[in-house]
């Protein structure tokens, strides 16, 4: 039984050895173990105008992690996701409190800056020298969750609710006689820069989303343009159709005014949750170059805009 008196001494030697090991390795071996966390994405399936997400639209997923002070910790990137209700990303974090931010399809022409602090991070759409976007950007989606507590327990999961950050504007004419395929659709808005909490980061910088309107089999013009999100807080997005003849204005209106006129008798278009706008312009008589908005009936998602006493431009 004499050997029992050596056990406390051996325990003390082992404890001291562990302490010196922590010092030698700069405490890295003494920190709590990282915990694996599954991050799931919640979304509303795509429906007609209140579109949230079609899984086929998801081309790229980026997940950003910030600590409780807003310092950037890590990024997880899936460039070829098989997205669906059971999709998740796995990250490894030490116990603590974090902010999770995700952007889906944050690829060209969308950009982000490289600041390391959450408050300074920005997402924006790349423009050319005259503030024009000449491509039709992918749908952009966003999720944000703060005060996420990572605990010691295993098998922890976090769920992020996705928001669609783009609108699709579909334009079609009726009873119009186009002269060529060179008509232009231009939507001008101040919605091109966002903070990482998805609030607007600029009140002044304009974006001109530009695309072509083509003549279809019915000999009418039609086209589609994705733009960054419309908001009740931004009253000034302007929609224009330009003729190939000296870029004369065929039609021009304030897009938010049109939507508000539809909602005058009661809200039938929920701006925050409607992401597709089908706009039909019905001309009562032939277009005369140089004159805009000539006897045009405007319909948005099947609802006729009340044009009485309306300043549209």
Q: Please tell me the predicted confidence (pLDDT) of residue 154.
A: 67
Domains of the chain are 36-105+140-164 (2.60.40.2100), 167-304 (2.60.40)
Contacts of 271 (CB under 8 A, 6+ apart): 230, 231, 232, 256, 259
Q: Please tell me the predicted confidence (pLDDT) of residue 16.
A: 47
Q: The tokens of 65 are what? A: 């992690």
Kindly give the parts of the chain with pLDDT less than 70.
1-34, 46-51, 154, 286-294, 308-313
Q: Please tell me the predicted confidence (pLDDT) of residue 204.
A: 85
Q: Please tell me the predicted confidence (pLDDT) of residue 24.
A: 44
Return the closest-CA partner of residue 187 out of 232, 233, 229: 229
> For residues 136-168, b (16+ Cβ closer than 10 Å) or e, as one string?
ebbbbbbbbeeebebeeeeebebebebbbbbbb
Q: Please tell me the predicted confidence (pLDDT) of residue 308.
A: 62
Q: Please tell me the predicted confidence (pLDDT) of residue 106.
A: 97
Q: Please tell me the predicted confidence (pLDDT) of residue 15.
A: 47
Which residues, in sequence order, are bridge partners of residue 122?
Answer: 195
pLDDT tens string 179-232: 888 899 999 999 999 999 999 998 888 999 999 999 999 999 999 999 999 998
């Amino acid at each position: 039984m004499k050997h029992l008196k050596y056990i406390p001494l051996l325990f003390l030697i082992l404890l001291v050895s562990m302490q010196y090991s922590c010092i030698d390795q700069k405490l890295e071996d003494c920190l709590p173990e990282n915990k694996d966390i599954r991050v799931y994405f919640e979304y509303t399936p795509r429906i007609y105008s209140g579109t949230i997400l079609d899984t086929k639209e998801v081309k790229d997923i980026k997940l950003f992690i910030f600590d409780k002070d807003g310092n950037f910790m890590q990024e997880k990137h899936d460039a070829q996701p098989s997205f669906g209700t059971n999709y998740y990303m796995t990250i490894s974090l030490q116990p603590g409190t974090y902010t999770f931010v995700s952007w889906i399809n944050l690829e060209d022409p969308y950009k982000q800056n490289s600041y390391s602090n959450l408050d300074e991070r920005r997402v924006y759409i790349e423009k050319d020298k005259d503030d024009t976007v000449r491509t039709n950007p992918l749908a952009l989606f966003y999720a944000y969750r703060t005060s996420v507590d990572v605990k010691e327990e295993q098998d922890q999961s976090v769920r992020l609710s996705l928001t669609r950050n783009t609108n699709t504007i579909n334009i079609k004419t009726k009873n119009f006689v186009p002269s060529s395929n060179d008509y232009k659709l231009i939507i001008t808005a101040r919605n091109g820069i966002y903070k990482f909490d998805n609030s607007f980061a600029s009140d002044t910088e304009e974006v001109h989303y530009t695309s072509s309107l083509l003549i279809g089999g019915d000999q009418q013009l039609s086209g589609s343009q994705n733009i960054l999100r419309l908001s009740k807080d931004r009253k000034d997005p302007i929609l224009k159709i330009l003729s190939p003849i000296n870029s004369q204005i065929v039609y021009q209106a304030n897009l938010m005014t049109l939507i508000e006129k539809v909602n005058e008798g009661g809200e039938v278009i929920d701006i925050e949750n409607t992401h597709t706008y089908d706009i039909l312009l019905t001309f009562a008589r032939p277009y005369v170059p140089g004159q805009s908005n000539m006897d045009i009936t405007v319909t948005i998602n099947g609802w006729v805009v009340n044009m009485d006493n309306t300043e549209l431009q």
